[in-house]
Amino acid sequence: MKNALRSIKHHGYLGTFFLAAMFLASCATNELAEKTTEQKKSEVYYGQGTSELIKKNYSQALINLLKAKELEPNDSQIRNNLGMAYYFREQPALAEKELLKALDLDPKNSDARVNLGSIYMEQNRLKEAKFQYEKTLEDLTFTNQFRNYYNLAVLALKEGDRATGFEYLFKSIKEKDEYCQAHFKLGELYFEEYKFKQALVSFQESSKGTCVTEPAPHYQQALVLMNLNRFEESRIKLKDIMTKFPNSRFNTLAGIQLKKISAELREQSANQNFQTEIIKESKTIESPNF
């Protein structure tokens, strides 16, 4: 049973965090008073479209952002958000076209550059993704550089370069210590290397910040505790997951792991009883002198 526990692996539980690395432009660059009537109308559609994107109403977001684009075709921010609307409507080719146009209009639009890189990485176009991410490193004013480091770490891992992956994750955390996605990825890497104590610390850190409502970091902590033979702590963590996240799939996963813990404890108890019985019956075995 112990070997089975040690083979438990993660399954990309924070896969949706990839989307968190997508950037939406949300502020205007010019004062409202300086804008024409057309520009003001465009800004209204742009704001509505961005709001709908955040709410995940992608069709409505697309409608508004297309109207904004019609009024202001040379606005790089509109093109970036329109690209994201196409991406979430599963139109990657149109998304790529809009993001390339956003960069053509404003090569310093790092949001669009990172978004384009993320689409390339999802398509396994790693060389093109790396170019966009590394180009973004040149933008010293980019306030979301910690996410760019994270993306570079994921890319390095896809290329099989774990050392560089670790390096970029450490840079991401140094840039923003509370960035939970980077902590979670570190936890996964430590877990794979059977460095369970380090993994536990990383998963604990990943349950803070913007990930405080995510069940995955808590579930991973429970798995690590199992591998550390800290079964009672793991049991408490799993029951807590079932209480706090009853409608998530982690409720079911936690139930499965609770059964494994019960089976492991029964097995340990049976082995202990068997060993105790042997000692009692054997007259040749003496207690060791320490």
Query: What is the distance between the alpha carbons of residues 290 and 281, in angstroms, rounded to a whole number?
Result: 22
Q: How far apart are CA 85 and CA 53, in angstroms?
A: 7
Low-confidence ranges of the chain (pLDDT < 70): 1-33, 272-290
pLDDT in tens, 46-96: 999 999 999 999 999 999 999 999 999 999 999 999 999 999 999 999 999
Start-end ranges of CATH 1.25.40.10 in the chain? 1-14+169-281, 24-28+35-143
Per-residue pLDDT tens digits for 163-189: 999 999 999 999 999 999 999 999 999
pLDDT of residue 286: 39
* pLDDT value of position 265: 84
Quick one: pLDDT at residue 281? 40
* Fold of the domain built from segment(s) 24-28+35-143: 1.25.40
In the prediction, which pLDDT does 3 show? 36
Closest by CA to 75, choosing from 115, 109, 116, is: 109
Encoded tokens for 99? 């993001």
- 53/74 Cα distance (integer angstroms): 20
* Residue 26 pLDDT: 57
What is the pTM for the complete model shown? 0.81
Say what the pLDDT of residue 264 is.
84
Q: How many other C-beta atoms can be found within 10 angstroms of the C-beta atom of residue 171?
A: 18
Neighbours of 267 (CB within 10 A): 12
Domain 1-14+169-281 has CATH 3.40.50.300: no
Q: Output the pLDDT for position 24.
A: 67
- Tokens 């798995």 belong to which residue? 223
Residue-level pLDDT at 5: 40
Contact of 155 with 121, CB cutoff 8 Å: yes
Write down the pLDDT at residue 268.
78
* pLDDT (0 to 100) of residue 127: 97
